[in-house]
């Protein structure tokens, strides 16, 4: 995707930015999949849940702003974790939203180093989307699929939509 046209939005960005600032932590390390992030994960989730309880769209709005998304016609939100995140984007952007779910079998995830942790991997931040059935696209990422062919098709479809909208 052309970076002039595409905003990569991470809803965890404003969460981790705040958490790093308040606690004197390294923001980039919190964005990684490191032990550093894991050490702070449970507290970050608890804090962000308390904010979401008051305004479920708080971090969606903050992420759109943080990544200057309104300046670009294509937004990729890479880390939606909750049904309320999808709800917020659909309420605010309607039919422009296309949802893509990337899934892998648990045995494949374990081969890649994932280890299930009670109290972390069974909370809404990790499994709230498991009951969602109305994805526009589902990508199976078990290592046996031809993802390149899929991605080329998705990019071409996106370009066609932009051309129809006179953005390209």
User: What's the CATH code of the domain at 77?
Assistant: 3.40.50.300
- Beta strand 100-103 with 137-140 is parallel
Q: Does residue 54 lie in a domain region?
A: yes
Overall size of the chain counted in residues: 168
Give the rounded percent of residues in the chain with a pLDDT score beyond 70.
96
Domain encompassing residue 86: 6-164
pLDDT at 156 over 80: no
Q: Does residue 152 lie in a domain region?
A: yes
Distance CA 54, CA 58 (A): 8
Give the rounded percent of residues in the chain with a pLDDT score beyond 90.
53
pLDDT at 113 over 70: yes
Residue 7's nearest CA partner among 57, 59, 70, 61 is 70
Model pLDDT, residue 112: 92
Q: Does residue 45 lie in a domain region?
A: yes
Q: Does residue 1 lie in a domain region?
A: no
Assigned token pair, 3: 């970076």
Reported as a pLDDT band with limits 50, 70 and 90, residue 168 is low
Q: Does residue 87 lie in a domain region?
A: yes
Model pLDDT, residue 137: 86
Q: Does residue 40 lie in a domain region?
A: yes
CA 14, distance to chain mean position in Å, is 12
Q: What is the pLDDT of residues 53-74, one digit of tens each?
A: 999 999 999 999 999 999 998 8
Model pLDDT, residue 135: 92
Q: Does residue 136 lie in a domain region?
A: yes
Alpha helices in the chain (DSSP H): 12-23, 27-31, 35-54, 58-66, 83-93, 106-111, 124-127, 147-164
DSSP structure class, residue 33: S
Q: Domain count of the chain?
A: 1
**Cβ neighbours of residue 29 closer than 8 Å, sequence gap 6 or more:** 36, 37
Q: Does residue 143 lie in a domain region?
A: yes
Reported as a pLDDT band with limits 50, 70 and 90, residue 1 is low
Model pLDDT, residue 57: 97
């Amino acid at each position: 995707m052309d970076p002039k046209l595409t905003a990569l939005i991470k809803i965890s960005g404003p969460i981790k930015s705040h958490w790093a600032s308040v606690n004197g932590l390294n923001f980039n390390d919190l964005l990684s999949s490191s032990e550093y992030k894991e050490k702070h994960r449970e507290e970050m989730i608890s804090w962000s849940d308390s904010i979401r309880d008051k305004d479920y769209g708080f971090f969606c709005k903050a992420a759109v702003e943080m990544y200057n998304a309104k300046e670009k016609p294509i937004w990729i939100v890479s880390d939606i974790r909750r049904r309320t995140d999808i709800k917020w984007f659909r309420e605010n952007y309607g039919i422009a939203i296309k949802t893509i779910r990337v899934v892998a079998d648990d045995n494949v995830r374990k081969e890649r180093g994932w280890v299930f942790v009670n109290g972390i991997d069974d909370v809404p931040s990790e499994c709230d989307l498991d009951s969602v059935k109305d994805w526009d696209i589902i990508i199976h990422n078990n290592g046996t699929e031809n993802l390149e062919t899929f991605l080329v098709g998705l990019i071409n479809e996106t370009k066609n939509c932009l051309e129809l909208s006179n953005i390209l």
